[in-house]
Structure 1
Amino acid sequence: MKRIALFPGSFDPFTKGHEDIVLRGLRLFDEIVIGIGRNASKQRYFPLEMMVGLIEKTFASYPAVKVVSYDDLTANVARDLGARFLLRGLRNTTDFEYENSISQVNRYVYEDVETVFLITSPHLAPISSSIIRELHRYSKNIDEFLPYKLK
């Protein structure tokens, strides 16, 4: 059976930390689907379609990586994709507390799904999408935090 993992998130923007989780996840899974969830209560900073394109370009040489966007419960999307795993990155204990709760709810919705946590590589741990958005908002160069170039 093919080991498919869904790597869900808002990815606003997708960072080098996210890229690191995907690349390391490829050692564990046959296929990784990067799922960009739409959150009706959040206004995106970077347009969804732009982010999908940038992520697809980042992983163009990795046929085992796919990108989708969705507007549903993550567990439902995983089931629909045939993904038995959710891949998540943890930077710190605060991330763990948050992700642990979500993991439990995902198992409630889709009992066959397992969440796999990878600890962020130490040199990438300080990077967060919210910090990058703030730097970008004030016209600071954010290229070193992203695996692609913004135009």
Structure 2
Amino acid sequence: MRALYPGSFDPLTLGHLDLIERASSLFEGVVVAVLRNPLKTPAFSLEQRLHQIRQATGHLQGVEVGSFEGLTVSFAQQQRTEVILRGLRAMSDFEYELQIAHTNKSLAPDVETLFLATAVHHSFLSSSVVREVARFGGDVSHLVPTGVADDLTRLFNRMNSSQNRNG
């Protein structure tokens, strides 16, 4: 059985990576799929996010990395995955994720949604929190894979030096 783990991954966190690692031991294959959302302006380009995920998951068997736009459930069917994997950090995540799971089930009855609880030590972690910490010069090395931490440092150093020149 194959699973799809969709998200924006902007950036990939150690919480995301923990779910991918756990899923790789539960399923024959895991497709990690980055959503291309034209309504959002991500910190990292699609290509950068795909590279970051490939770099962080290179040690795992059966993990594929790709991107999609449109409905997640349509991409799940296209990829022949039977399960959409979602991580839950708190009860507030559950309400939103349950609504999406029911919507997906109404669109594709053959695709299941599986929720995995985030590891306790990653339960506070989100991509937006990581971006904020990095934006203000905080150490994110314990929140994201090494390559991602380096990319965040470069990104915000570049942005801060540009603002200092213009401001």
Measured against the shorter chain, the TM-score band is over 0.9
Partner of 1:41: 39
Partner AA of 1:108 in structure 2 = S
**By how many angstroms is 1:139 displaced?**
2.3
8 Å Cα contact 2:4/2:31 also seen in 1: yes
8 Å Cα contact 2:14/2:122 also seen in 1: yes
Partner AA of 1:69 in structure 2 = S
**By how many angstroms is 1:49 displaced?**
0.7
Give the one of 17, 23, 48 matched to 1:50: 48
- Where structure 1 has 5 or more consecutive residues not aligned to the other structure, the ranges are none
Structure 1 CA distance, aligned partners of 2:84 and 2:28? 13
Partner of 2:132: 134
Partner of 2:104: 106
| CA RMSD, Structure 1 to Structure 2 (Å) | 1.1
Give aligned pairs, total: 149
8 Å Cα contact 1:54/1:148 also seen in 2: no
Secondary structure of 1:144 counterpart: coil
**By how many angstroms is 1:63 displaced?**
2.9
Q: For 1:1-151, list aligned pairs within 5 A.
A: 3-149=1-147, 150-151=150-151
Secondary structure of 1:66 counterpart: strand
Partner AA of 1:100 in structure 2 = L
Secondary structure of 1:98 counterpart: helix
TM-score normalized with structure 1 length: 0.94
Which structure has the larger Rg? 2
TM-score normalized with structure 2 length: 0.85
8 Å Cα contact 2:24/2:60 also seen in 1: no
- Where structure 2 has 5 or more consecutive residues not aligned to the other structure, the ranges are 152-167
Structure 1 CA distance, aligned partners of 2:104 and 2:137? 38
* Percent of pairs with identical residues: 38
Instruction: Please list every run of at least 4 consecutive aligned residues from structure 1 whose deviation after the TM superposition is greater than 6 angstroms.
Output: none
